Structure formats: structure tokens, C-alpha cells
Amino acid sequence: MNVESWITVEETPALAQAAREAIDGRLARFTDAERAAFWASIRKAYNTPYNDPVKPAAPKPADPVPTAAVEIHLSAPGLAEMALPLAAIASAALVAEARAA
């Protein structure tokens, strides 16, 4: 796209200096560090491309952790009633170990 300008190449430095002096006059109430930060932000803005940054691709979901079959054999008398709680404890331990890995 062509841009039409009434400013000639010869006028540009003088107009730029006048604009900078006008802006510096308005920034006089700020400290030197604040003025330097302002001009740094202006330079960054003018050096930033107009296109939106490319967004990274979404990460792929992790593969599910394969689970191993666990058998619990109870041979002592009186432990048959505890078969389900023991299996639950073993299952919970395997899940916690898999998540930690």
C-alpha cells in the first residue's frame, strides 16, 4: 500500500527533533529513569512486528500409564475377610507409584 506524505525527506530530521522536544517537555515531570523507560517502550513498540505472534501447538495428551495385574494370595486363617481392603491398598499404592513416575 502506497502512503502519501506531505513531508519531504529534508524536513524529516527537523520535524522529528521538534516532536521529541515537545514530548520531552511533557515528560519533564518524570525522573530521568522514567523518561528512559518511556523511550525504551516506544522503541520496543516500533520494533515489534504488527502480526500476532505464532502460538505454539497444543501439547499432545500423555499416554495412559499401563497398569499391571496384581494378585494377592491370602493363606493365613482370618485374612479372607481382609481380602478386599488389602487389594484396595495394593491398588492405591500402584496408582500412587504410577503417578509419581
Q: Which tens digit of pLDDT belongs to each residue from 9-60?
A: 899 899 989 998 998 889 999 999 998 898 888 888 887 666 666 777 777 7
Q: For residues 86 and 29, what is the distance between their CA atoms, to the nearest angstrom?
A: 74
97 DSSP assignment: H
Instruction: Please tell me which residue, 38 or 78, carries the higher pLDDT value.
Output: 38
pLDDT at 72: 62
Tell me: pLDDT of 1 over 60. no
Q: How confident is the model at residue 7 (pLDDT cuts 50, 70, 90)?
A: confident
Mean pLDDT of 52-69: 72
pLDDT at 47: 76
Q: For residues 96 and 68, what is the distance between their CA atoms, to the nearest angstrom?
A: 13
CB of 78 within 8 A of CB of 67?
Answer: no
